[in-house]
Structure 1
Amino acid sequence: MTEDALNSPGSAREPLRVVLVDDHGIFRAGLRAELGPELNIVGEAASVEEAVRAIHELAPDVVLLDVHLPGGRGGGGAEVAQACASVPTRFLALSVSDAAEDVVAVIRAGARGYLTKSATGADITSAAYRVAAGDAVFSPRLAGFVLDAFGTTAATDTEDNLDLLSAREMQVMRLIARGYTYKETAKELFISIKTVETHVSAVLRKLQLSNRYELARWASDRRII
């Protein structure tokens, strides 16, 4: 699925089966009302035990996962993700917390993205589709925590193929590696989302990378962001 399709309000998208995990019923109700109609909420949970049971029973496409949850061994959202590692689902963390330790813990446990609860329903809906497609999604300032935690390998002496990138591709690469979305990158560079998508595809191909998460690590390793 292309980024244009994800961001176009009129585009048709295959429904996603989603489980909401948060210990505050009012937040779950508000989130349910704000999410796009193409997200099919098949279950909800308010604790670690409820979440693990629901995810194993329902095997949703995406779990919208709070980081701090009661129950279990006190591990919250990270414990849920670890306990459901065998389930073919994707986890998108949602939290009021923007603390580095919370972000890193849930990503280490297997979550593919992390947004703060200030995100809009449209943002979360778009992020859910991107996570379901295997992409990594972070609020821009949180991406740095992930890079710091996972991108510490020293740059190698191997050929990095940077000379294969055009000046515009370098600009796009740096923004995407910093955690910008396609839409944010397009706005920053005054180009269309489709053009950003084309440049990212070219960058991934030239650098022999599979996705934007690998690109972020690659760029951090080489300290070029």
Structure 2
Amino acid sequence: MSAQGEDGTTASGAGTEQGPVRVFLVDDHALFRTGVKAELQDAANEVQVVGEAGSVAEAVAGIAHYRPDVVLLDVHMPDGGGAEVLRRVRPNQPDVVFLALSVSDAAEDVIAVIRAGARGYVTKTISGRELADSIRRVREGDAVFSPRLAGFVLDAFADRPGAAPIRDPELDLLTPRERDVLRLLARGYAYKEIASELFISVKTVETHVSSVLRKTQLSNRYELSRWASDRRLV
């Protein structure tokens, strides 16, 4: 595993208010990770990079090991990307805060990672001082976005007339009937109850659930419920 500790220590608990925010950096470009660490060095009394990873698998293992306060998360990586890291980490480490840091300012990318559980999204044009401030703010509970990106999130979640529809590529993979089944499943309905509610057979319910599991690459009902909740299907 190439996830690396930057402070020479093993895993430890979350930082306190008195100490710097402990940060884990996830990006598939080693040169960019080096640049981020250099930019944050001037704010070392506020932010400490304790580890880094260049892939989804390394990130999941490294976050579990170092237990950072905040994860700086790239959106696009060859083996999955930021949303995949969120899906695999959040069920077991709900206290870790995620801040997306990406070159992309596409609405679809912003919404996908926020729906997956990130607390904010900033672009790679951000300065080191601004990034350190953003890390501190998400750790304190704020939602942080680069200026033009906040509107994407408002449009996606405000449910107001005239809001621009934001596509979720993963959700778009599901058929309307699969969404109906998933919605009821996430609400705690048994297969028999779902069948009765939708006027279909239990066997058909099982077929739809298997299809949803395959399309979302999840493994059980609990993970499906979290996935549905993150997308406001429940």
TM-score scaled by structure 2? 0.58
Alpha-carbon distance in structure 1 between the residues aligned to 2:156 and 2:57:
28
Paired residue type of 2:65: E
Paired residue type of 1:16: V
CA shift in 2, pair 1:98/1:13, >3 Å: farther
Structure 2 residue aligned with 1:66, among 65, 68, 74?
74
Q: Secondary structure at the match of 2:71?
A: strand
Q: Secondary structure at the match of 1:134?
A: coil
**Aligned-residue offset at 1:13:** 6.1
* More moved, 42-51 vs 12-21: 12-21
Structure 2 residue aligned with 1:42, among 50, 53, 64?
50
Paired residue type of 2:142: D
Q: Structure 1: any 5+ residue segments left out of the alignment?
A: 1-11, 155-225
Is 1:22 the equivalent of 2:30? no
Q: Secondary structure at the match of 1:127?
A: helix
Structure 1 residue aligned with 2:140, among 124, 133, 146?
133
Q: CA-atom RMSD, angstroms?
A: 1.4
* More moved, 13-22 vs 135-144: 13-22
Paired residue type of 2:64: H
Alpha-carbon distance in structure 1 between the residues aligned to 2:67 and 2:116:
17
Is 1:91 the equivalent of 2:90? no
**Aligned-residue offset at 1:14:** 2.9
Q: Secondary structure at the match of 2:130?
A: helix
Alpha-carbon distance in structure 1 between the residues aligned to 2:78 and 2:49:
22
Alpha-carbon distance in structure 1 between the residues aligned to 2:115 and 2:26:
18
1:52-201 to 2 correspondence within 5 Å? 52-71=60-79, 74=80, 76-85=81-90, 86-87=92-93, 88-153=95-160
Alpha-carbon distance in structure 2 between the residues aligned to 1:78 and 1:98:
15
Paired residue type of 2:58: E
Q: Secondary structure at the match of 2:63?
A: helix
Q: Structure 2: any 5+ residue segments left out of the alignment?
A: 1-16, 162-234
Following TM superposition, the consecutive aligned residue runs of length 4 or more in structure 1 with deviations greater than 4 angstroms are: none
TM-score scaled by structure 1? 0.60
**Aligned-residue offset at 1:57:** 1.4
**Aligned-residue offset at 1:135:** 0.7
Q: Deviations over 1:62-91 (max 9, x none)?
A: 0000001122xx3x1011011111312100
